[in-house]
């Protein structure tokens, strides 16, 4: 996504959910109804910060 106001694509959302659902991250779980959050706000912020360069700010390219 070039601009932080851009709407993410389905693939970008799917990729983010797959990362968050990975067993080593465990921030969301997938079931037959979709995804659900498994952590609280404070733990979510700590988790995103701990991912470092894996999560890039909008507009930053590798």
- Contacts of residues 5-9 at CB distance under 8 Å and 24 or more positions apart, as own/partner, are 6/58
- 3 state DSSP class of 62: coil
Residue spans per domain, the chain: 10-51
CA distance 27 to 49: 13
CA distance 10 to 15: 9
- 3 state DSSP class of 28: strand
Please write the tens of the pLDDT for every residue from 1-52. Answer: 456 678 889 998 898 898 889 888 888 999 999 999 999 999 888 887 887 7
């Amino acid at each position: 996504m070039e601009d932080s106001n851009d709407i993410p694509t389905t693939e970008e959302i799917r990729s983010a959910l797959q990362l968050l659902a990975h067993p080593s991250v465990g921030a969301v779980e997938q079931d037959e109804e979709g995804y659900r959050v498994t952590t609280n706000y404070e733990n979510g912020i700590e988790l995103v910060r701990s991912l470092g360069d894996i999560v890039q700010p909008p507009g930053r390219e590798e």
